[in-house]
Amino acid sequence: MGTDKKSEPLNRVDGRAKVTGKAKYFAEFEVPGVTYCVLVTSAITRGTINTINTKDAERAPGVLAVFTHLNMPVIPGWANPANPNAKPPSGGEKYQILGSNKILFNGQPIALVIADTLERAQYAASLVKATYNKATHQTDLLKNTEKAAMPGRFGDYSRGDNKEAHKTAPVTLEADYTVPVEVHNPMELAGILAIWEGEDKVTVYAKTQGVKATQRTLAGAFKLEEKNVSVHSEFVGGGFGMGLRTWPQEVAVVAAARQLKKPVKLVMTREQMFNLVGHRPYTIQRISMGANKDGQLQGIYHEATAETASYDDFTEGTVAMTRFMYACPNVTTKYRIVPLDRGVPIWMRGPGEATGAFALESAIDEMAHKVNMDPVEFRVKNFTLTDPEKNKPFSSNNLKKAYQLGSEKIGWSKRNATPGAVKDGEWLVGYGMSTGVFGAHRGESTCRAQLNADGTLVLQSATSDIGPGTSTAMVQIAHEVTGLPIKQIRFELGDAALPPSGSQGGSATVSSVGSAVYDACMALKGVLADAGLTFEDGAVKPAAGKSAGLPQVLAASNKQFFEITKSSKGGPEQQKYSMYSFSIHFAEVRVHPLTGVVRVKRVVTVADSGRIVSPKTAASQMIGGVTGGIGMALMEEGVIDHRFGRMVNKNLGDYHVPVSADVPHIETIFIDEPDPYSNPMGSKGMGEIALIGFSAAVANAVYNATGKRIRELPITPDKIL
Ligand code: MOS
């Protein structure tokens, strides 16, 4: 740890549980007397409910309750006299979950139907009939750009004294980019199971990326002490960001369960996953760039305009990368949001930067062509070891090495720089590359370590695992610190009662929780030393000059185990250095000139994410991220019919994601150099950089193959022809 020693590739410690069905996801928990909730959703996009007829539904077999705005229990922590059930918004008007007759977006819940079986709840839900007073809605960002406003949290940025350098430099370009609505849609559907004990204590099984965050939300909503809100979420079937909030309809289900004095379970439908749990916001961007003829960047202007909801001001770091990625004296960025009559967006796979990197890294490629330079060389020419935004050195930055390793692996030197010059049978061949970046974040985390008499080590922290293999990485860290065999170490997570940690998001878990695991294991060494014991050769042994082993020492002091709890967070280095993870993506594509079909043929992705703690799960992250990147580049698009304000492809048949046949061999390379300042392991985050930038690598490869610049994702055949 923290040294040049490489970690060994480890199988997932919970792999067997996952593939044999032993791993239980929230919806699989059964409790006696459980009831089932089905959401009825709005057919209009803006307006009010005029009448809502629930009589037939209430009379249907097995129905326990139908809640609408007329009889919904008040959510005490959210309510004030004027706004029952309105969570205090961070911006915009208030959205009340079944708290008023107001409709703010299409698909908004208008009723909860609860019955003794799922089928009976579904049938009864079909009997709820509403009439509406429709108001004019606005769902088209392009028709509402005059409403674009600067969000409080993201001010304009400018450096340099020549604000026009992007226009007046010897070589310039200006281009507009579009990233459509994309949806997370992990395999596991969203929802919650709520079980009350009286009025003051509740247990939930939930799909969440943060058990502590869900605990805080529910404690706030129901005015409970946190310790009276149990949240369980040990296994999560993917999140991609949608599980970073406890959604209003989930809180409403908890309220319904309290009123009914019965456990209630909600599993959202796949259709509801398209508009009730957030999405990547539709975003338009303009990049204007100027360089000298020798390829030195002189000015960049980057403006992004993204949708948000009328009732919340969601923001993300879309233009962040442009501020610091390249040595460029004059940079201006602007970020605007436009409130629309849509559900609120939320962070999604490489949030913000994934959208921004598509624009920036496409423009960089275009500029390289304009100055007749190889795109890799162009990036190296404009490389900087000092973050020009913060004016601080990067804690580590191995981009130059990454460009070199990736180039060699994909065979970049054989690339023909002339677009459309290379064919393979009927197919045009193209190579493209791009850079991705994401903050190497580290939050405060706590870990409890318990060493039992039999030499097993149990580690506990209230973090989550949405799929990357958190437990595996944590076990690996503990193994490397203590030397204990992998099979003797267990990591427990997904329970809000465990020592507190942050949500799994922003690629921060290994850095945050891993540091706490590291610190707890180091502290345990001290506890053992005080007791005359030591970790040696994969076991707990008597220290030099001592003879009693672990069981004897514990017995002598009347203890079952040794335990220690440690909190960990970043120190002053976090302020002194600029900390980022970097990725380089190389893509080789085939484009069919008659059909416009694009196939990704080969991918090489290089990650500069510090020391790799868990090589096997890290490689899986890269493969998963790139697969998401193929979807973003070529397929994913939530299509809204603005006449109705409704998404028309709310199913996985019409909303395309990559299947195995769309995903070629993805070669992953890790620089695997410890970052001296990030954390005790020397690691930096992995999850987001796997996807960030990849769509630009594909777009740049399509240009190399065809001579066409596609600036609007996804790159579908109609845009090629
Ligand atoms: Mo990630 S978008 O931080 O779940």
Please tell me whether residue 530 adopts helix, strand or coil conformation: helix
- pTM comes to 0.97
Are the beta carbons of 85 and 97 closer than 8 angstroms? yes
Q: What is the pLDDT of residue 709?
A: 98
Closest by CA position to 390, among listed 315, 320, 335: 320
Please tell me whether residue 700 adopts helix, strand or coil conformation: helix
Residue 178 has pLDDT above 60, yes or no: yes
Q: What is the pLDDT of residue 344?
A: 96
Residue among 184, 279, 314, 347 whose CB has most ligand 1 atoms within 8 A, to mutate: 347
Sign of the C-alpha dihedral computed for residues 671, 676, 681 and 687 taken in this order:
negative
Q: What is the pLDDT of residues 460-477, one digit of tens each?
A: 999 999 999 999 999 999
Q: What is the pLDDT of residues 594-630, one digit of tens each?
A: 999 999 999 999 999 999 999 999 999 999 999 999 9
CA dist., res. 247 & res. 97, Å (int): 10
Please tell me whether residue 144 adopts helix, strand or coil conformation: coil
Q: What is the pLDDT of residue 286?
A: 98
- Establish whether residue 241 lines the binding site of ligand 1, counting it when its CB lies within 6 angstroms of any ligand atom: yes
**Ligand 1 midpoint to CA 239 (Å):** 7
- Establish whether residue 348 lines the binding site of ligand 1, counting it when its CB lies within 6 angstroms of any ligand atom: yes
**Ligand 1 midpoint to CA 350 (Å):** 6
Question: Between vectors from CA 174 to CA 169 and to CA 179, what angle results, nearest 5°?
Answer: 145
Burial (0-12, 13-18, 19+ Cβ within 10 Å), 125? buried
Closest by CA position to 501, among listed 490, 512, 511, 510: 512
Residue 5 has pLDDT above 90, yes or no: no
Atom of ligand 1 nearest to the CA of 242: 4
Measured N-to-C along each axis, helices 694-706 and 615-634 cross at an angle, to the nearest 10 degrees, of 50
Tokens standing for 631? 């979807």
**DSSP label at residue 3:** S
The CA-atom distances, in angstroms, between 365 and each of 211, 373, 459, 585 are 42, 9, 47, 13
CATH number at 442-568: 3.30.365.10
Instruction: Tell me what ipTM this predicted complex has.
Output: 0.98
Average confidence (pLDDT) over 217-243: 97
E strand or H helix at 547: none
Pairing of strands 640-641, 191-197: unpaired
**DSSP label at residue 89:** P
Please tell me whether residue 575 adopts helix, strand or coil conformation: helix
pLDDT band at 154 (very low <50, low <70, confident <90, very high): confident
Q: What is the pLDDT of residue 84?
A: 84
Following DSSP, what letter does each residue of 189-233 receive, concatenated? PPEEEEEEETTTEEEEEE--S-HHHHHHHHHHHTT--GGGEEEE-
- Establish whether residue 349 lines the binding site of ligand 1, counting it when its CB lies within 6 angstroms of any ligand atom: yes
Residue 669 has pLDDT above 70, yes or no: yes
Tokens standing for 52? 């809502």
- Establish whether residue 467 lines the binding site of ligand 1, counting it when its CB lies within 6 angstroms of any ligand atom: no
- Establish whether residue 240 lines the binding site of ligand 1, counting it when its CB lies within 6 angstroms of any ligand atom: yes
Q: What is the pLDDT of residue 585?
A: 98
Tokens standing for 412? 């970049």
Q: What is the pLDDT of residue 80?
A: 80
Determine how many CB atoms are found less than 10 A away from the CB of residue 372.
Answer: 11
CA dist., res. 610 & res. 395, Å (int): 10
Atom of ligand 1 nearest to the CA of 244: 4
Closest by CA position to 511, among listed 437, 613, 583: 613
Average confidence (pLDDT) over 567-592: 96
CATH number at 34-136+184-274: 3.90.1170.50
- Establish whether residue 299 lines the binding site of ligand 1, counting it when its CB lies within 6 angstroms of any ligand atom: no
Are the beta carbons of 256 and 65 closer than 8 angstroms? yes
**Ligand 1 midpoint to CA 158 (Å):** 28
**Ligand 1 midpoint to CA 483 (Å):** 32
**Ligand 1 midpoint to CA 351 (Å):** 7
Atom of ligand 1 nearest to the CA of 209: 4
Burial (0-12, 13-18, 19+ Cβ within 10 Å), 460? buried
Average confidence (pLDDT) over 525-534: 98
Q: What is the pLDDT of residue 307?
A: 98
**Ligand 1 midpoint to CA 211 (Å):** 15
Atom of ligand 1 nearest to the CA of 239: 4
Can you list the alpha helix ranges (DSSP code H) found in 382-503? 399-410, 470-482
Averaged pLDDT of the chain: 96
CA dist., res. 499 & res. 529, Å (int): 24
Question: Between vectors from CA 498 to CA 205 and to CA 277, what angle results, nearest 5°?
Answer: 40
Q: Bridge-partner residues for 204, per DSSP?
A: 194, 231
Q: What is the pLDDT of residue 639?
A: 98
Selected catalytic residue, list 234, 316, 667, 688: 688
CA dist., res. 558 & res. 544, Å (int): 23
pLDDT band at 298 (very low <50, low <70, confident <90, very high): very high
CA dist., res. 85 & res. 91, Å (int): 16
Q: What is the pLDDT of residue 3?
A: 53
Amino acid letter for position 522: M
Say which residue, 425 or 153, is predicted with more confidence: 425
pLDDT band at 1 (very low <50, low <70, confident <90, very high): low
Residue 197 has pLDDT above 70, yes or no: yes
Q: Catalytic site residue 688?
A: yes
Residue 151 has pLDDT above 60, yes or no: yes
Atom of ligand 1 nearest to the CA of 687: 1
Average confidence (pLDDT) over 654-675: 97
**Ligand 1 midpoint to CA 278 (Å):** 12
Q: What is the pLDDT of residue 92?
A: 86
CA dist., res. 210 & res. 219, Å (int): 14
Average confidence (pLDDT) over 171-199: 98
- Establish whether residue 323 lines the binding site of ligand 1, counting it when its CB lies within 6 angstroms of any ligand atom: no
Q: What is the pLDDT of residue 196?
A: 98
Q: What is the pLDDT of residue 83?
A: 79
Residue 165 has pLDDT above 80, yes or no: yes
Residue among 182, 240, 353, 470 whose CB has most ligand 1 atoms within 8 A, to mutate: 240
- Establish whether residue 239 lines the binding site of ligand 1, counting it when its CB lies within 6 angstroms of any ligand atom: yes
Residue 204 has pLDDT above 60, yes or no: yes
pLDDT band at 333 (very low <50, low <70, confident <90, very high): very high
Comparing 77-91, 553-567, 618-632, which segment has the lowest mean pLDDT?
A: 77-91
Percent of the chain with pLDDT over 70: 99
Q: Where in the chain is the domain with CATH 3.30.365.10?
A: 283-440+579-720, 442-568
**Ligand 1 midpoint to CA 348 (Å):** 6
Q: Where in the chain is the domain with CATH 3.90.1170.50?
A: 34-136+184-274
Atom of ligand 1 nearest to the CA of 350: 2
Nearest CA to ligand 1 atom 4: 241
Q: What is the pLDDT of residue 524?
A: 98
CATH number at 283-440+579-720: 3.30.365.10
Of the chain, the end-to-end C-alpha distance in Å amounts to 52
